[in-house]
Amino acid sequence: MGRQSGRRLPPVVAGVWRHLGLGRYQMKIMTSYLAVIVVVLVLLNTYPLRINQDIVFQYKRSSMQTQAALLTAQLADLESLTPENAASVMSVADERRNYRVVVCAADTRVVYDNSLRESAVGRFLLYPDVAGALMGSDMFFSSFKDDSFQSRFAMPILHGEKIIGALYLYDYDSEQAGLLLDLRNQMFSFSIVISLVLAVVSVIISMALTHRFSALLRAIRSVRDGDYGHRAPVYGRDELADVAGQFNELSARLQKTESLRQQFVSDASHELKTPLASVRLLADSILQNEDMDSATLREFITDIGDEIDRLTRLTEKMMQLTRIDSGSARTHCAIRPADVIRRAAHMLTPFAKKAGAELQLELDDDCAVTGDADDLYLIIYNLMENAVKYNRPDGTVRALCYTQDGKVLIVVDDTGVGIPEEDLPRIFERFYRVDKTRSREAGGTGLGLAVVWQTLRAMGGEVKAESVYGKGTRFTVTFPQRNTPPEVENGE
């Protein structure tokens, strides 16, 4: 069986967390805070006490060593240790009645014990401390147990260079231990109070912190569920505020994209519906009229073909916009705009002759830009096609290309019907037509200028429209000038 990752809280603990309304992230923050608090309090309740305990041990060692040195110096004058001479010397020298003082002969037999235990004299004192002292070493041991400090010190007694016995000191100190116990109890009580205070503070801090995360999470869920107008609250100027701000910008873009998508679907459905309905009506008319003459039939079929051509143009424009929106990779290279303009003019010449418009070109062959030749052709073709389509009979369409202030300018102007001033800001919107009836009659789809604008954005260029209603329109496309001599691709 596979092992599950992560650990779950016991049901009772999880129930308490849910009852308090705490989220998983907040629970993790609080758990981290509490873990740090526990570690700090454990150190607070152990390290200072251990330091104080070590200080007491050092004091005991120094004090007992000093006292043992004084006593062994008095006993060192004796050639051998007996109960009588040891008692005689110790009755004068032993002033520290708080220690138990035991004097042993070289055979570990007790010759003096100030604990008033007369029965101890004459017995063997088989302590490791005494054995170590009889071997010539100072022995010390101290411990804290049974609510007291219990210390032992043993030192050899030398007569000249000969060890004649050992001095053994024992100390039972409950007073110092009581002070240490009082300190421990006070630290424990202090720790309990601090723990409660810090637990409350950690809850408050975690709630304040996770409240912002919760608000951001709610906003993310709302946007995920389709509420693109929802915004996350932004508090402060920290990284979390930056995240909320970036999320709000993303939500605004999604809202705009969704609005454009819905508008595009609505407009596309409407635009496709009209020619399809016309084709359906013409086809039904042919089927219902069995006696239709060949001339009328040819006229109906021609109308059907015109509507099919219109559908084809519309779908082509929509596919171009889809390709641009998808950001599909294009090959960027050096382009001479003059060559692309000549190619577009060559393709539009039959259409211009049919419409009665004259094409005029004023091109600087030294101009060069960086981009995709097909995309630039798409821009110029759409602008020139519109200039011909919405021109007057015997009108003129001019295409210019020149450099100015380090930029390459491509200008397409006409002597056509012009665009009303109030419509100029919207002409690059998808499916927007200034005159819907005239545009449909001219075969317009309402997508040509949208294709121009989107393609220019992808290429890093700009476009500006100027028009005087009833006199003509001018479109100015601007690109950064390529300064190095290009290996020009004309896009053919």
pLDDT single digits (tens) 352-362: 898 889 999 99
Same domain, 379 and 467: yes
Residues in the chain: 492
Q: What is the DSSP string of 269-310?
A: HHHHHHHHHHHHHHHHHHHH-TT--HHHHHHHHHHHHHHHHH
Same domain, 321 and 340: no
Asked if residue 165 has pLDDT above 80, the reply is yes
pLDDT-derived band at 431, boundaries 50, 70, 90: low
Write out the E strands in 294-357: 333-335
147: left (phi over 0), alpha (psi -120 to 50) or beta: left
Same domain, 121 and 143: yes
Asked if residue 465 has pLDDT above 80, the reply is yes
Average pLDDT over residues 233-244: 75
Asked if residue 487 has pLDDT above 70, the reply is no
Instruction: With CA atoms as reference, report the closest residue to 184 among 314, 53, 7, 63.
Output: 53
pLDDT at 21: 45
Identify which has the larger pLDDT, 158 or 378.
Answer: 158
Asked if residue 312 has pLDDT above 90, the reply is no
Residue at which a domain ends, from 128, 159, 179:
179
pLDDT at 488: 43
Asked if residue 196 has pLDDT above 50, the reply is yes
Q: What's phi and psi for 80, nearest 5 deg?
A: -150, 160
Residue 111 covered by a domain: yes
Q: How many domains does the chain have?
A: 3
Residue 241 covered by a domain: no
pLDDT single digits (tens) 134-159: 999 999 998 888 788 889 999 999 98
Same domain, 338 and 428: yes
Same domain, 468 and 386: yes
Residue 360 covered by a domain: yes
Residue at which a domain ends, from 285, 304, 326:
326
Asked if residue 457 has pLDDT above 70, the reply is yes
pLDDT at 329: 47
Residue 43 covered by a domain: no
Q: What is the mean pLDDT of the chain?
A: 77
Residue 287 covered by a domain: yes
Same domain, 103 and 165: yes
Asked if residue 19 has pLDDT above 60, the reply is no
Same domain, 322 and 337: no
Average pLDDT over residues 294-303: 78
Pairing, β 472-480 against β 407-414: antiparallel
Residue at which a domain ends, from 179, 208, 225:
179
Residue whose token pair is 């906003």: 219
pLDDT at 414: 92
Q: Of 172-176, 252-256, 400-404, 440-444, which one has max mean pLDDT? A: 400-404
DSSP label at residue 484: S
pLDDT at 390: 87
Residue 6 covered by a domain: no
Residue 477 near residue 376 (C-beta atoms within 8 A):
no
Same domain, 443 and 320: no
Residue 80 covered by a domain: yes
- For 457-472, letters b (16+ CB in 10 Å) and e give ebbebebebebeeeeb
Same domain, 412 and 355: yes
Average pLDDT over residues 425-452: 63
Same domain, 281 and 411: no
pLDDT single digits (tens) 439-448: 444 445 566 6
Domain holding 417: CATH number? Answer: 3.30.565.10
pLDDT-derived band at 167, boundaries 50, 70, 90: very high
Residue 466 near residue 474 (C-beta atoms within 8 A):
yes
Same domain, 302 and 341: no
Which of 57-61, 200-204, 209-213 is predicted with the least confidence, judged by mean pLDDT?
A: 209-213
pLDDT at 10: 52
Strand partners, 150: 143, 172
Average pLDDT over residues 389-400: 90
Residue 93 covered by a domain: yes
pLDDT at 5: 41
Average pLDDT over residues 32-59: 79
pLDDT-derived band at 320, boundaries 50, 70, 90: low
pLDDT at 13: 46
Domain holding 132: CATH number? Answer: 3.30.450.20
Average pLDDT over residues 325-349: 78
Asked if residue 24 has pLDDT above 70, the reply is no
Pairing, β 396-404 against β 358-363: parallel
Distance (Å) of CA 492 to CA 176, 313, 335, 376, 488: 103, 22, 11, 12, 11
pLDDT single digits (tens) 411-423: 999 998 888 888 8
Q: Strand 472-480's sheet: what is its strand order?
A: 358-363, 396-404, 407-414, 472-480, 462-468
Identify which has the larger pLDDT, 244 or 106.
Answer: 106
Residue span of the structural domain in which 374 resides:
333-480
Same domain, 316 and 338: no
Q: Strand 110-113's sheet: what is its strand order?
A: 110-113, 100-105, 162-173, 148-159, 139-145
Cα 283 from Cα 93, distance rounded (Å): 137
